[in-house]
Structure 1
Amino acid sequence: MADVSDPAINEAYLDVRSDKSDTNWLLLDYENDRSDKLTVTKTGTGGLSELTDLLDDSKASFGYVRVSYSNDKESTREKFAFVVWIGPSCKVMRKAKISVHTADVKTALRVYSIEVAAREKEDLNEEPIVAKLRKAGGASYDGV
């Protein structure tokens, strides 16, 4: 099991979800290579692209990001995506534990519209993620 008991995880999660905060993403990493304890590595205001830039090819990480997009001429929507990052150079034993750990992390990062499994940074391009969020978001009045 992954240890998601650090109170900073919940604080960062609530900060990303808050309409009163500019923070729109958080990144969770393992304390070290041997540990199953997750900690908040960083939070930021630069959206999905900033989060993606910080992902390490040798690590497995979890991200949570608020994505804003225009659904039609009249409105802007904000939805949340849960990111499971397994870098291309991640160690085999860490990869093996990710599916179990993902379930534990979902208890801490509870509310999101889509889950994105990413093994390459290209998997986190904003356009396809926004398309998935639109589909998950329900009504669309502009034919998208």
Structure 2
Amino acid sequence: MSGADSPEILAAYDAVRSDKDETNWLLISYVGETGNKLVLSKTGTGGLAELAGELDDGQVQYAYVRVEYANDAESKRIKFVLIVWIGRNTKIMRKARVSIEAGAVKKVLSHYSVQVDADDKRDLDTDEIVAKLRKAGGADYNGGRG
């Protein structure tokens, strides 16, 4: 068992999804350099920018983020993003197992609009993620402009 369904991870997931909690992201990391044991490493309230600062270039990590954006002056949308982070300095065997081990994480963090696979913190630009969410959501009241 990977630990993706641990009480700590499930509680953080519920917090990110809750309209009544300020927590808007969680980060899951591996316990060690080998093995598939996962733990909740951090949560935060500072959105994508704060989360990006916590990612480790030598690890595979999984993040779940609440993103709020406006389509127009009258509407606000809330969507969720799953991020599979594969740091550029991650060991090759850990990288090779991501496709298998990510499945356990996706079963737990199951409600998301888009998945972003990233190896560079620039891949987590808020405007680009919002553009992906708009595209995935269908209606785009900005004519394709972020």
Q: Same fold by TM (over 0.5)?
A: yes
User: Counterpart of 2:80 in structure 1: which amino acid?
Assistant: F
- Compute the RMSD of aligned alpha carbons: 1.2
- The 5 A counterparts of 1:59-138 are 59-138=59-138
User: Counterpart of 2:3 in structure 1: which amino acid?
Assistant: D
* Cα separation, 2, equivalents of 1:49 and 1:2: 28
* Cα separation, 1, equivalents of 2:22 and 2:126: 19
In the TM superposition, residue 20 of structure 1 has moved relative to its aligned partner by 0.3
2:7 maps to 1:15: no
**Aligned match of 1:49:** 49
In the TM superposition, residue 27 of structure 1 has moved relative to its aligned partner by 0.1
In the TM superposition, residue 30 of structure 1 has moved relative to its aligned partner by 0.5
What is the TM-score normalised by the length of structure 1?
A: 0.95
Retained in 2: the 8 A contact 1:72–1:140? no
What is the TM-score normalised by the length of structure 2?
A: 0.94
* Cα separation, 1, equivalents of 2:131 and 2:67: 11
* Cα separation, 2, equivalents of 1:52 and 1:9: 19
User: Counterpart of 1:52 in structure 2: which amino acid?
Assistant: A
Unaligned runs of 5+ in 2: none
Retained in 2: the 8 A contact 1:62–1:83? yes
Query: In percent, how many aligned pairs have the same letter?
Result: 52
